[in-house]
Amino acid sequence: MVHRTAFMVDALWPEFDTWITAHKSPRDTLMLPLDGLRHDRPQYAWNTDGFGKVATFPILALWRSLVSRRLSSQGAARQMSTLAFRKRLAHRYVDSLSYLDEHVVVVQDLLLYVWETGALQGRTFDVLMTGPTLSELHTVLDDAYAHHPESATLGDFRAPVGLAASEMQALQKARQILTPHANVAGGFAQTVRLPWARRVSARASPGRRIVFPAPTLGRKGAYELRTCARELGLPLTLMGPVLESRNFWDGVEVQMGTMIEAAVVVLPAWVEVRPTTLLAALDAGLPVIATPACGLPPQPNLTIVPTGDVAALIDALRPYASIGRATMRRNCQ
């Protein structure tokens, strides 16, 4: 009897794609919502070569896209829709399993739903870990909300308690937990640490702005950065929409832009799953200030400050205070 592995994935993670490519065999099965390479959908562009079978579920992918377009970019409705899609996708994957699939590699977002079906009983399995557990995520968000009870987003959604318990039960049974996220990697004894995918970038010339490479959300550290910008008079470039209050950045000079203007890139996040922009900044030779929640290992040009620690963030940003003074002089001329 020939045994094989079923890989259950969702949105593309280059780090996991590289690992799967190195560990798959010609008899294995890849399950994904849509063949992104064939349908020009980069979000699903996993390497599908070399598998015995590639199972896709395009109707579900289309349903997800249509529903997503009708929802706001933030809030409980979007989160509930996301959970509903993951459950349906996980159940379709389980229905596609064969008795020959004795090992499963499943992405964290689908794990608890696959676990609840009982499909992992009698099989070994690995987990592609994308972020903190639901229990840890809720604890962090509760802490952030306690610091900023005025936030419109920090308390808007928590997953049902039963889901968090199921996820933890499954993770404790996993053979391996694979992740590139430095903060997540420390949570389990069976963790295998993967490298972040890096790109060769042209060296950037230092600019004259402090760049915040995220939407204005409490969980991205917007409140902490606002306090520092007001105290030090720092001009900010925002790379995402303002999703807290409309006048959130009152008292701070802000403009929309890109990293091309950066003197330093700052992300004092409470929660950050994929620090893609921070990696791009580091690869371009730019200084980066981030929290442990961003998942980056120690490296040149990276300053790590404790999550939620405004005083430490001010100290890290103080060398850039002259940028704010120069901007004020230009504005007064």
Strands 191-193 and 209-212: unpaired
Compute the distance between CA of residue 316 and CA of residue 314 in angstroms, rounded to an integer: 5
pTM of full prediction above 0.75? yes
Indicate the domain borders of the chain: 4-193, 209-327
**pLDDT at 90 (0 to 100):** 95
pLDDT at 185: 87
pLDDT at 81: 78
pLDDT score of 204 = 67
Q: What is the pLDDT of residue 135?
A: 93
- Whole-number pLDDT of residue 332: 42
| Nearest partner of 87 among 146, 186, 167, judged by Cα | 167
End-to-end CA distance of the chain: 80
What's the angle, vertex CA 303, arms to CA 311 and CA 309, rounded to 5?
A: 25
> Exposure of 24 by Cβ count < 10 A (0-12 exposed, 13-18 middle, 19+ buried)?
buried
Do 4-193 and 209-327 fold alike per CATH?
A: yes
Domain at 4-193: CATH code: 3.40.50
| CATH no. for 209-327 | 3.40.50.2000
- What confidence score (pLDDT) does residue 197 get? 94
CA distance 77 to 71: 7
The pLDDT value given to residue 328: 46
Please state, in angstroms and rounded to a whole number, the distance separating the CA atoms of residues 218 and 260: 25
Cα separation of 141 and 269, whole Å? 11
pLDDT tens digits, the chain, 333 residues: what are they?
558 999 999 999 999 999 999 999 999 999 999 998 888 889 999 999 999 999 999 888 787 777 666 655 556 677 777 888 899 999 999 999 999 999 999 999 999 999 999 999 999 999 999 999 999 999 999 999 999 999 989 988 888 888 899 999 999 999 999 999 999 988 889 999 999 998 876 666 678 899 999 999 999 999 999 999 999 999 999 999 999 988 999 999 999 999 988 999 999 999 999 999 999 999 999 999 999 999 999 999 999 999 999 999 999 999 999 886 555 445 444
